[in-house]
A and B are shown apart, each in its own frame.
Chain A
Amino acid sequence: MLPTLWFVLVALMLTVYVLLDGFDLGAGALHLFAGRDDQERQLIFKTVGPVWDGNEVWLIATGGVLFFTFPVLYASGFSGFYLPLIIVLWLLMIRGLSLELRRHIDNPLWTQFWDVMFAVGSILLAVFYGAALGNVVRGVPLNSEGNFFQPLWTNLSPFATPPGILDWYTVLTGLLALATLTIHGAAWVALKTEGALNGRCRSIIRRGWFALVALAALATVATFYVSPRMLDSYLDRPYGFVLPLVALAGLGALLYFSFRGNDRGSFLASGAYIVGMMTSTVFGVYPNVLPAVDPANSLTVQGAASSQYSQTVGLVWWSIGMVLAATYFIIIYWMFRGKVSLEEEGY
């Protein structure tokens, strides 16, 4: 019972991370296209400036909680995905630096360099995150000790065994993640800006919407092909179908609000879509936390969990910590509410 609760809580934290860091990743992915000149790009940077660091902390905190609630999973997953994780790390570093260093020197070469770094870092991170989720869904070649090693990529053939960490399916989920987060980012920037920039973001949402729907449909079909047990999860526990419905409703609302020019509605709708997608995926994976190619070796919620005492005391301080964190976040987002402008600036 306790491990399942923690599984839900970790999934919840991860979803919050994707919701929050998702929009600043998306803003990074689109800012070269949406922002036509230096001032517009500065504005995009300003929409995420005070909050991106806090958003990213959700990843670090989720990692920490995952580590103590499911240490065996942390050990297998992180050592098995060694290279892609270290590459993600480097991308996070480059992106963090670009967000923070750009405004320190007002020289066109300097800002253009960091603009490109911000875009590249954000785009690749979105793709890698999607590919990571794709790997978890598809399952990895865990041995009986719970360890695995996989090449970073192979020839991308659907029939390669073992498939690479980046193969046709995971690249597809990576592109889906990129489309999802770009639209989420566009919704955020539209919400925080006015004028031409706002208009361009709205049009990114409307045009991107069709690509997003196509990719989502394709990825869903492919998912049931590479991982038939996902469908079993839903058939065993049909109440789970409500989660993909949330995603669908989010998609529909996104189109509706973006045509109505309701920025807040669009942002909330893309958030709902993300929540639906994340929870649908996680629901399908349960009761595994890391499925193996050979189902006997799959890491389950029960098998990967830490001790009951550890999970119990963790629940106490975690609850306090999350109430505090939620309070800070509500205060901070409330303080920095409203549209950004270039007039007022920190240092």
Chain B
Amino acid sequence: MEDLVLSRLQFAFTITYHYIFPQLSMGLALLVFILKTVSIRRGDERYNKAARFWGKIFAVTFIMGVVTGIPMEFQFGTNWSEFSAYAGDIIAQTLAMEGAFAFFLESAFVGVFLFGERRFGQKVHWFSSLMVFLGTWASGYFIVTTNAWMQNPVGFERVADGVELNNYWAVLTNPWVFPQYMHTMGGAVVTGAFTMAGLGAFYLLSQRHVEYGKIFVKVGVIVGVIASVWMLFPSGDLESRQVSEKQPEKFAAMEGLFETEEPAGIAILGQPDVENMRLDNPIVIPKALSFLTYQSWTAEVQGLEELPQKDWPDNIPLLYYSYHVMVGLGTIFIGIMALSALLLWRRRLFESRWMLWLLMLAIPFPYIANTAGWFTTELGRQPWLIYGLLRTEDGVSPLLSSGTVLFTLIGFAGIYMIMGLLYIVLMVREVANGPDDEDEEDPPGSPEPEPEPAMSGREA
């Protein structure tokens, strides 16, 4: 039993940590491509430098994503071998496709993008930024498709010792994929846009690299306002309707709806009390849930009480809070970005210090919102590993001892802590260097670096 808990914890920890990086790199892949495109179309070298600057941040983030991503594939086999043997026929198909169609593409062109600008010229550089963007987004598609199958298994038949694929297209075009992919990638763009705008705001406020600060704020806000609204409508709306239709337990738990109501209100705040089956201190907008879910002000919405308790998610409060944090932050994002866009349009944004402060301080929050969103998806699927087919407790490796898992969990925690520190050091350094002093700076690896005190030891 303990090995199950530890394996779950290890997977949750490694994937939560991993997800910090791809959400930024997938968002930045789009933004870098936009910057590079603008620089070529307008012949504006500032945009090119901006693209190069964010390319560097992308590169470090991408590598962190790659190295923290490999453990995910491994853990299917190491910790969840029963699940792997049960559903490998299907689940690994999409994982392998990610390797064949996304990883090869992105790994090849990331190299060209980072090392090839001077050597191969602007067109190749632009093209490689497009390929990197397509590669990272294809990667997202295959991962979401894999997850979608676990949320809503399709295209299979049951056999003695597991499930077998019988309709490949059904898996690739699982109706669950479409809203989830739109929502996940939108979330990545929100993260990228907030990071870009927030850093631009920092440059403007501290009056360094001001010209670039303006570009970052402008591009970040324009992309950010579109992406933030997109998260609410259509993608978020579609996704929650889909959950209500196919996973009623998850839906009721995430809304904190214990009793079936007709019509049902939507709880903005409140603390779920599972023992007493009620929401403490609720603030409810009457009838709203019925309308949002069924487009009728009087529709009935099923509460947890009506659903078998053995299928309830095993951590209802965490699920409820994750969902509410995500939605709450998402709403705030729309407010921040809409206001910034308005000020930008009126040409007052760059002078509006309080707005710039707000943009800068907002940088961490998309990461929290995306993480909370992922928690909602995954906690809500519990107690199922594959919804309706395989319970989580039946998927774990049979001969694994809890001590072994604890050891590797601690190991991951240690390595990830060091990696996090390194990442922060490098980011702070890139931000301090800024985008425009590249020509003064020695390209790393130039044969004769300018003599600097710090280098003297090396020359000796």
Q: Which residues of A contact B (CB under 8 A)?
A: 38-39, 42, 46, 49-51, 53-54, 56-57, 60-61, 63-65, 67-68, 71-72, 74-83, 85-86, 89-90, 92-94, 96-97, 100-101, 103-108, 145-149, 306-307, 309-310, 313-314, 317-318, 321-322, 324-325, 328-329, 331-332, 335-336, 342-347
B419 touches A97 (CB 8 A): yes
Among the listed A83, A97, A145, A329, which residue makes an inter-chain contact with B404, where contact means beta carbons less than 8 Å apart? A83
Tell me which residues across on chain A come within 8 A of B70, comparing CB atoms: 60, 89, 92-93
Among listed B29-37, B208-216, B326-334, B395-403, interface-contacting one: B395-403
Contacts across chains A and B counted by CB atoms under 8 Å: 254
B90 touches A75 (CB 8 A): no
B73 touches A60 (CB 8 A): yes
Considering the chains assembled together, what is the distance between the CA atoms of A289 and B120 in angstroms?
45
B455 interface residue, CB < 8 Å from A? yes
- Closest Cβ neighbor of B114 among chain A residues: A346
A314 touches B96 (CB 8 A): yes
B438 interface residue, CB < 8 Å from A? yes
B92 touches A57 (CB 8 A): no
B100 touches A75 (CB 8 A): no
- Closest Cβ neighbor of A38 among chain B residues: B458
Q: What are 16 A-B contacts with C-beta separation under 8 Å?
A: A50-B112, A50-B116, A53-B66, A68-B93, A71-B162, A75-B82, A104-B429, A106-B449, A106-B455, A307-B89, A321-B100, A321-B104, A324-B104, A328-B108, A335-B112, A346-B117
B81 touches A336 (CB 8 A): no
B110 interface residue, CB < 8 Å from A? yes
B59 interface residue, CB < 8 Å from A? yes
Tell me which residues across on chain A come within 8 A of B59, comparing CB atoms: 100
Task: With both chains docked as a complex, state the minimum distance between the C-beta of B152 and any C-beta of chain A, in angstroms.
Answer: 19
Tell me which residues across on chain A come within 8 A of B449, comparing CB atoms: 106
Tell me which residues across on chain A come within 8 A of B114, comparing CB atoms: 50, 346-347
Considering the chains assembled together, what is the distance between the CA atoms of A309 and B408 in angstroms?
36
Considering the chains assembled together, what is the distance between the CA atoms of A309 and B442 in angstroms?
56
A93 touches B82 (CB 8 A): no
Beyond the given pairs A74-B81, A307-B159, 18 more chain A to chain B contacts, judged by CB atoms under 8 angstroms and listed by A's residue number, are: A38-B458, A57-B104, A72-B88, A74-B92, A76-B81, A79-B81, A79-B397, A89-B71, A96-B66, A101-B422, A104-B444, A108-B455, A307-B89, A314-B96, A317-B97, A322-B100, A344-B118, A346-B117
Considering the chains assembled together, what is the distance between the CA atoms of A39 and B449 in angstroms?
11
Among the listed A65, A86, A107, A310, which residue makes an inter-chain contact with B411, where contact means beta carbons less than 8 Å apart? A86
Known pairs A96-B66, A321-B104; A149 contacts B399 (CB<8 A): yes
B78 touches A71 (CB 8 A): no
B164 touches A310 (CB 8 A): yes
B335 interface residue, CB < 8 Å from A? no
B184 interface residue, CB < 8 Å from A? no
Tell me which residues across on chain A come within 8 A of B426, comparing CB atoms: 101, 104-105
Tell me which residues across on chain B come within 8 A of A65, comparing CB atoms: 96, 99-100
Considering the chains assembled together, what is the distance between the CA atoms of A86 and B419 in angstroms?
17
Tell me which residues across on chain B come within 8 A of A321, comparing CB atoms: 97, 99-101, 104
Tell me which residues across on chain A come within 8 A of B200, comparing CB atoms: none
B403-422 CB contacts (< 8 Å) to partner A: 404, 407-408, 411, 415, 419, 422
Tell me which residues across on chain A come within 8 A of B73, comparing CB atoms: 60, 63-64, 67
Among the listed B74, B165, B438, B455, which residue makes an inter-chain contact with A347, where contact means beta carbons less than 8 Å apart? B438
A310 touches B116 (CB 8 A): no
Considering the chains assembled together, what is the distance between the CA atoms of A89 and B426 in angstroms?
23
- Closest Cβ neighbor of B452 among chain A residues: A106
B82 touches A310 (CB 8 A): no
B115 interface residue, CB < 8 Å from A? yes
Tell me which residues across on chain B come within 8 A of A332, comparing CB atoms: 108, 111-112
Considering the chains assembled together, what is the distance between the CA atoms of A100 and B56 in angstroms?
11
A53 touches B56 (CB 8 A): no
Contact with A along B108-130 (1 / 0, CB 8 A): 11111011111110000000000
A71 touches B84 (CB 8 A): yes
Tell me which residues across on chain B come within 8 A of A331, comparing CB atoms: 108
B77 touches A74 (CB 8 A): yes
Considering the chains assembled together, what is the distance between the CA atoms of A67 and B442 in angstroms?
45
Tell me which residues across on chain B come within 8 A of A85, comparing CB atoms: 74, 77-78
Tell me which residues across on chain B come within 8 A of A103, comparing CB atoms: 444-445
B90 touches A310 (CB 8 A): yes
